[in-house]
Every structure is written in C-alpha cells, then in structure tokens.
Structure 1
Amino acid sequence: MKHVLAGDVGGTKTVLCLYRVNATKPAGTSLEEVHKAVYPSSGYERFGDLVTSFLATVAPLRPERACFGIAGPIQQQRCNATNLPWVIDAGKLAEDFGFEDVYLINDLEAAAYGMLHLAADEFVELNPHAAPQAGHAAVIAAGTGLGQAIMAWDGQRHIVMPTEGGHCDFGANSSQEDALLVFLRERFGGHVSGERILAGDGFGNLYDFLRASGHAPPNAAIEAEMLHEDRNAVISRHGLQGDDPLCTEVMRLFVRIYGSEAGNLALKCLPRGGIYIGGGIAPKIRAALETGLFMQGFLDKGRMARAIEHIPVRLSLNPEAPLLGAAHMALSRSCC
C-alpha cells in the first residue's frame, strides 16, 4: 500500500487529505501528508461528487484505502449525515472509486483516535490539579454540533466508543440557566439538548436569550456587524474582547456550560486518562477557557466533585485531530 485517503466530514466543511505511507523509517510505518483540500460541504449534492473533485486534483496518485470521520451515526457502514442531506455508504464508495477498503467512523471517533497521535505541545492543560493516570479517556468537541466519545482502556490500548451524547438533555444548574432552558424549550418546541448551546449556533441562541431577558441593551453597531458577517463569530469575537455586556455574558455562559457538560461526561466514564477538548471552537476561545471558568463548571458537581477533581482536562490546539485519526484508522485496517 502506498497511499491512504482520510476525511473529516462536517456540516460546514469537509477536509480531505491524501497521505503517503512510509514503511521504511526506523520507528515503523508513518504517514506523510501529500495533498490536503477543504471544501464547503453544502456546495456538493453528494459526498461522492466531492471525492471525485479531490481525486482529480491528486491524479495520477491514487489511494488504495480510505477512512472518513463523519458528523453522524454510523450503522452497518452507512451514514445519514446529521447536518447534511448526504447518505454515505462505504461499500458504494469502494465500488465507485475502486478502493480496496473504505471505512466510515463517527467524527468524534476519528478525533479520539487522532488525539492519541498528537504531540504533548499540541495540548494545553486546563486543570491545575491534574494527576494523569493510565485509564479511560474521553473527548468532547463543540463545532458545528456537539460531539462526544469515550475511549475505553483495556490495559494496553484505547478502544473508542462513539456516542450521540451531545444530543442528551441540557441540564440547567442555576436560576439563570433555568430561564435559558425555558427560553430554548419555547424556541425549539420541546427537547433542548446540549448542542443547542455548545455549538456554533449556540452563541446566537445565548445572545437572543440574554437580549430578551433584558440582561443589557443591545449595541447597535455590533448588531449591524451581524448583518454582514457570521452572527455567531461576531458575538464570539466581542465576547472575547469584553467590549459589550451582552456578548461578554454570552461567552461567560458558553464557557461555564461547556465545562459543566465536560464534567457530566467525566462522571459517566471516569476518564482517569483525561478529557480531551476538541472541535473547532475551543482553540478560538482559548483565552476564555483558561480563565478558570471552564473548570468551575467542570467541578460544580456537589459531593461528586472529588471523583473528578484530578482528571486531566486537555485542550487540543490541533484542529486536524479527526483527519489524523481517520488516516491512522485506514492504515491500521491495512495491517489486519
């Protein structure tokens, strides 16, 4: 085998990368990036059309195997993408493109495997009382959606279990969050998941809640910016700058609730090996995550705070963890 194709398939964008397999280095088999491209997911009617475009750019090179991390549940190697009108079938992709093997995994499953291949300097530790141990680990990642995965430790290696934990109920933890839950329940006509807050659109939902509740008057200049730029990005930017009361409170709420949900995940699987914070949003709001507010939310678990107080909480600075995870999965399957 000479090349593998890896993909990180998200609701907003899809990243494809061709890797060369190097099997002669002293450390063993490694992957070398040959060509990478980013595509707007909504610009393609079918996922196969996107793959066709990519393969045309790398011709005459041709991958023998492929693995795609997809934002959506995988069942029998078939996926209905969560935020896209795509049905992705591994068998059909292999047949259409002549691949020896195509393997589909959940995007958070891919991110989890990718975390295992990042260097130590690609993480920032958020827990000042962390005490790393060998054991289970977990990943939580806010991006277009909210993903979660558990990395079960069998004594020798981590086995990743994908979940749809981001769609579990949002658990309010203060009177303000009680009011937020009521607001969002009315907005969405019932069930409110964590993803309604801890995702790109969550900034807008939090802003609308605070504006409607009279937390502070809106800034006309900032709302004008929202008409010409991505609304969530505008809110996030001003929240980080701290130059607007509404946006600043949005960021405070987002970070604290993010920490709370990470703590919920920690209680469910006791990841002594660490919680990894992935996704596209976290590196962009690193300064807010490092204020200590995230950890306050993480540890606000009453009498059970002691059970998770020493768990490492590692912010990943490499947004390509899902891509790396998919590539290494394609490589590992070739060795089976």
Structure 2
Amino acid sequence: MDVLAGDIGGTKTLLMLARVEDGQLIPGEIRRFSSADYPHLVPMVREFLDDHGNPGPAAAAFALAGPVTRHDDRWQAHLTNLPWQLDSHELARELGIRRVTLVNDFEGTGHSLDDLPADSLHVLQAGETDPKGVRLVVGAGTGLGVCIVCPGQSRLVLPTEAGHSGLAPADGQQARLWAAIHRQEGRCTREHLLSGRGLGRIARFLMSEGHAVDPTLAKAMEQADPAPELTRLALTGADPLAVEALSLFCRIYGGQTGDLALSTLPFGGVYIAGGIAPRILPLLANGGFMEAFLDKPPMTSLMARMPVKVITDTTAGLLGAARLAADKAP
C-alpha cells in the first residue's frame, strides 16, 4: 500500500510517497516545492503524483503550519502564511484519494516517534523509559510547539498551545529579561524567547545590560533575522555576547521544558524537536539545558528518571504525516 505525506509551510512544501508493508513504514524520496509558486495544494500534488506515475495512494495526510479544525471526519485549515484554504473532503475528491487527513505540523511530529530511526535521536539523558508512559514533544523553531503523545495501541496525539503560555523566569537575570519583553510586547510568553526571533530578543537584552558588541555581531543584529549569524558566532566561539545569548537561550529552553514535563510526567520520553535543536546540539549537550531541566527541587530526582532526546531529523513531521495516513487508510 502506498500513502502520500506532505509537510506544508509558508516557504516550502515537502511531499513524499511511502510504502506500508506489514505495518512497517518505508519512506520514499522527498521532493521539495516552493509553496508560493502554486495557487493551491492540488496542482502541486497532481504534478508530484504524475512525476511518480500516479501510483494512486490509498490515503494522504498533510501536516501544515496553521490551525486545523475537525468536524466528524472532515478537517479544514487556513494556512498562516499562505492564501490556501484546505478541506480534507475537497482534497480527496479533487485528487482521487479516498482518505485525506489534515493535521497541525507539530502534531505531525508527535505521530513520527515510533518510526524515527535510532540514529535520528540524540540522547541527552537516558532516564528510565516506561514503554507505556506519556511522551512529551517540545520544539523551538519559527514558534514553540508542544504536543503530548498518549500511551496505547491507538496513538493519540494531543496538540497544545503551551508555547503561548506565560514564561516563568528562573532567576534574577531571567526576571529582568521577562520584564523587558513584557514592556515591549504586553506579556512574555515562552514563544517570545524560545524561537528564532526569541534568540534575537535575548541578544538585544544582553546588549541593553552593557555587554560589549563587536562589529560583526552589530552588523548581524541589523538583519531582520539575526538568529543564523548569532548561532554561527556562538558555535564557533567567535563572539562572547553571542555565546552568552545562546547559553541563556539553552537554559531557558531546558527550564521551560522541565516545567512542561512536570505538568505531564512523560516517562515515555521527552523529545526535543523543531528546527533549532539540531543546529545547536553541541550546546544542548553541554550541560546548561539539562541542568535547567533538572533544577526543579523537590522534584529533581523525578526529573532524572525522564528520558530526554533530541530529534535530529528535521523531516520528522513528514514522517509523522505518512504514519498518520497509513493509520487512517481505508
């Protein structure tokens, strides 16, 4: 059986055909499309299927950046950064696919956990895995995604908007940062800091506290998105302020992930996803993230029992969409 999977973003869309044999998912080649080059998803998918000899997939699932609403077995979505309105029934009719499912992109990552190869998981803390335990997925990227994967044979992934919850500062420095963001934005949420834009906000806060700024960093901070250059300077150790900004980012990331873990008790595992984590893996593995994760007295020993892993495969959402399509196939 063939299934079609898609990961739809404002800039790019990834499409993949996967084969399902005896319940095992065998991913196929991934093709990337520029989303803005197409007026709608349908002509893009038709082109993709025609290029593959139109194998007639049994089902399709699309993970997308935007809210998804469900009415019985019908899913509808309006993408955040594209003028596309998607309806699962209309897509099924126009594409000739019996079953089409739409899901939020981060929820798609939650569906990928059982199919991720071992080499796409970097262990930060081995913990004591409970195969029947809840699993928590947290991922910083353009925003901050959070979902909960419930135990059981019928996989249930619970999406959340916990990234928009208020951030609780862990120390005096974070309290001053919280206050600065609150003055600018009217509140300080987790996503205000744990995102690409958040890294820039952290660097500007450190600059406001008198940290020296060299010309290279000053030029980077003039860019609309300074995060890539900040990350490069931090990972190479080329700029002390960049190093401190990313270090503070990791401490906040670990602390907030720990708070989320206290709310869900994910002894099945904590999975760090999103586009940022694989790029800063050396710093995540260097202590600050896990120190902040564990610093939850009187529950530190409880936190030490939770497995913590980084998902290094940035196409996990696509893999999850393929698994969801396989599960929903008629």
Taking structure 2 as the reference length, the TM-score comes to 0.89
1:174 partner amino acid: D
The answer to whether residue 162 in structure 2 is matched with residue 169 in structure 1 is: no
Q: Which runs of 4+ in 1 moved over 6 A?
A: none
Aligned to 2:217: 222
The answer to whether residue 135 in structure 2 is matched with residue 137 in structure 1 is: yes
Task: Identify if the C-alpha distance between structure 1 residues 239 and 118 changes in structure 2 by more than 3 Å, giving closer, same or farther.
Answer: same
Could you give the per-residue CA deviations for residues 58-117 of structure 1, whole angstroms, max 9, x where no partner exists? 344443421011233321111233454443221222222222111011222211121111
Aligned to 2:9: 10
Task: Identify if the C-alpha distance between structure 1 residues 101 and 116 changes in structure 2 by more than 3 Å, giving closer, same or farther.
Answer: same
Structure 1 position 305, deviation (Å): 2.5
Contact 2:251 2:288 in 1 (8 A): yes
What is the root-mean-square deviation in Å for CA atoms of aligned residues?
Answer: 2.3
Aligned to 1:297: 292
Aligned to 1:104: 102
Q: Structure 2: how far apart are the matches of 1:237 and 1:54?
A: 35
Contact 1:12 1:144 in 2 (8 A): no
Task: Identify if the C-alpha distance between structure 1 residues 245 and 49 changes in structure 2 by more than 3 Å, giving closer, same or farther.
Answer: farther
Contact 1:211 1:218 in 2 (8 A): yes
Task: Identify if the C-alpha distance between structure 1 residues 48 and 271 changes in structure 2 by more than 3 Å, giving closer, same or farther.
Answer: same
Task: Identify if the C-alpha distance between structure 1 residues 187 and 92 changes in structure 2 by more than 3 Å, giving closer, same or farther.
Answer: farther
Q: Structure 2: how far apart are the matches of 1:37 and 1:167?
A: 32
Structure 1 position 56, deviation (Å): 4.8
Aligned to 1:196: 192
Task: Identify if the C-alpha distance between structure 1 residues 85 and 184 changes in structure 2 by more than 3 Å, giving closer, same or farther.
Answer: farther
Matches within 5 A, 1:1-336: 2-21=1-20, 23=21, 28-42=22-36, 44=38, 46-48=40-42, 50-76=44-70, 77-127=75-125, 130-134=127-131, 135-154=133-152, 156=153, 158-188=155-185, 190-214=186-210, 216-225=211-220, 231-334=226-329
Q: How many residues align?
A: 325
Contact 2:200 2:221 in 1 (8 A): no
What's the secondary structure of 1:126's corresponding residue? Answer: strand
Task: Identify if the C-alpha distance between structure 1 residues 44 and 256 changes in structure 2 by more than 3 Å, giving closer, same or farther.
Answer: farther
Structure 1 position 276, deviation (Å): 0.7
Q: Structure 1: how far apart are the matches of 2:5 and 2:81?
A: 20
Structure 1 position 166, deviation (Å): 1.2
Q: Structure 1: how far apart are the matches of 2:191 and 2:224?
A: 22
2:308 partner amino acid: V
Deviates more, 1:72-81 or 1:137-146: 72-81
Task: Identify if the C-alpha distance between structure 1 residues 39 and 192 changes in structure 2 by more than 3 Å, giving closer, same or farther.
Answer: farther
Taking structure 1 as the reference length, the TM-score comes to 0.88
Q: Structure 1: how far apart are the matches of 2:184 and 2:209?
A: 14
Task: Identify if the C-alpha distance between structure 1 residues 116 and 211 changes in structure 2 by more than 3 Å, giving closer, same or farther.
Answer: same
Deviates more, 1:291-300 or 1:41-50: 41-50
Structure 1, unmatched stretches of 5+, are none
1:192 partner amino acid: C
Task: Identify if the C-alpha distance between structure 1 residues 158 and 13 changes in structure 2 by more than 3 Å, giving closer, same or farther.
Answer: same
Structure 2, unmatched stretches of 5+, are none
2:30 partner amino acid: K
2:294 partner amino acid: L
Structure 1 position 213, deviation (Å): 2.4
Deviates more, 1:113-122 or 1:272-281: 113-122
